[in-house]
Amino acid sequence: MNFQLDEQQRALQDTARKFAQAELPALARKLEEAREPLPHEWVKRYAEMGFLGINLPEAYGGGGMTHLDAVLVLEEFAKISGAVAAPIFESCFGPALAVQRYADEPLKQRVLRAVCAGDMMVAVSMSEPGAGSALTDLKTRGVIEGDTVVLEGQKRWCSGAGHAEGYLVYCRLSDAPGAASIGAVFVDKGTPGISFGKRDYLMGFRSTHHADIFFDGARVPASQIVVPEAASRS
Ligand SMILES: Cc1cc2nc3c(=O)[nH]c(=O)nc-3n(C[C@H](O)[C@H](O)[C@H](O)COP(=O)(O)OP(=O)(O)OC[C@H]3O[C@@H](n4cnc5c(N)ncnc54)[C@H](O)[C@@H]3O)c2cc1C
């Protein structure tokens, strides 16, 4: 296995490093102190420079590059601070990748295009007050009623809660026990029946909002089931 970066990867790394070191240290300090996320105009600037969705397909507005390419850029921004690296992480990994891998085509087009353009942040919501490491203890329900999923439950520790425009919410889609009924639904922030708890105060990673999310009969189109329940996939 070759562990050397090729010429293109070194050039990408160099571009990211020069930008991050020249433009971001003072801004990062300000954001960490104020506990505020990167302002929208800066996220748009990242998008224009091709730093968002680096590893997502060009068909969705991404850079069409590899996961390693995305990590090389992320590393250079993260050397400055999580405050300025978070939009890169969120657009390249986690829920964005799950949407790219599993969502239906219209949802991919809507969500990933907005993510790559810097117009949407997507958060992942798995943990609950009684489900951390043992995630299969999660209790949030998504009851399928025709072409709608009705969500009931409470999530904890969601990074981006209240700030992100979209949430990939892991929940039980049937009564099957353990992992078998767990799937994931994409939920837009403005959906009636969703509310957010008080913002958590953390020792670090402070510019990102973290909070509980409450689902109280939130109705989401069934076409936004990104991951069907595990039982139906086997
Ligand atoms: C800053 C921050 C951001 C987060 N962002 C998100 C997010 O965006 N979305 C989201 O869904 N979640 C998020 N989380 C939650 C995170 O994923 C959970 O904290 C994690 O899953 C651990 O759960 P827990 O805190 O309940 O710890 P616990 O599950 O209670 O674990 C506590 C300790 O016990 C150990 N332990 C647990 N079970 C066992 C076992 N069976 N055997 C031996 N040891 C065990 C663990 O290793 C750990 O050391 C975030 C957490 C933090 C701190």
CA of 126 to the centre of ligand 1 (A): 10
Residue 169, ligand 1, Cβ within 6 A: no
First to last CA, the chain: 33
CA of 100 to the centre of ligand 1 (A): 25
Write down the pLDDT at residue 177.
87
Nearest residue to 120 via CA among 158, 78, 90, 157: 90
CA of 183 to the centre of ligand 1 (A): 19
The answer to whether 225 and 181 are in contact (CB under 8 A) is no
Residue range 165-184, pLDDT digits in tens: 999 999 999 999 889 999 99
Look at residue 234 and tell me whether its pLDDT is greater than 90.
Answer: no
- Going 7 to 9 to 13 to 15, the CA torsion angle's sign is positive
Residue 124, ligand 1, Cβ within 6 A: yes
Cβ atoms within 10 Å, residue 94: 16
CA of 206 to the centre of ligand 1 (A): 18
Look at residue 106 and tell me whether its pLDDT is greater than 80.
Answer: yes
Residue range 8-66, pLDDT digits in tens: 999 999 999 999 999 999 999 999 999 999 999 999 999 999 999 999 999 999 999 99
Question: Domain map of the chain by residue range?
Answer: 7-116, 122-233
Residue 208, ligand 1, Cβ within 6 A: no
The 8-class DSSP code of residue 93 comes to S
| Secondary structure E strands in 4-121 | none
Could you identify the atom of ligand 1 that is nearest to the CA of residue 126?
11
CA of 22 to the centre of ligand 1 (A): 36
Q: Which of 121, 122, 127, 167 to mutate to test the pocket of ligand 1 (most atoms within 8 A of CB)?
A: 127
Tell me the average pLDDT across 89-95.
95
- How far is Cα 2 from Cα 71, in angstroms, rounded to an integer? 17
Write down the pLDDT at residue 2.
80
Evaluate whether the domain defined by 122-233 bears CATH number 2.40.110.10: yes
Question: Percent of the chain beyond pLDDT 70?
Answer: 99
Architecture label for domain 7-116 = Orthogonal Bundle (1.10)
Could you identify the atom of ligand 1 that is nearest to the CA of residue 202?
1
Write down the pLDDT at residue 233.
66
Residue 133, ligand 1, Cβ within 6 A: yes
Residue 205, ligand 1, Cβ within 6 A: yes
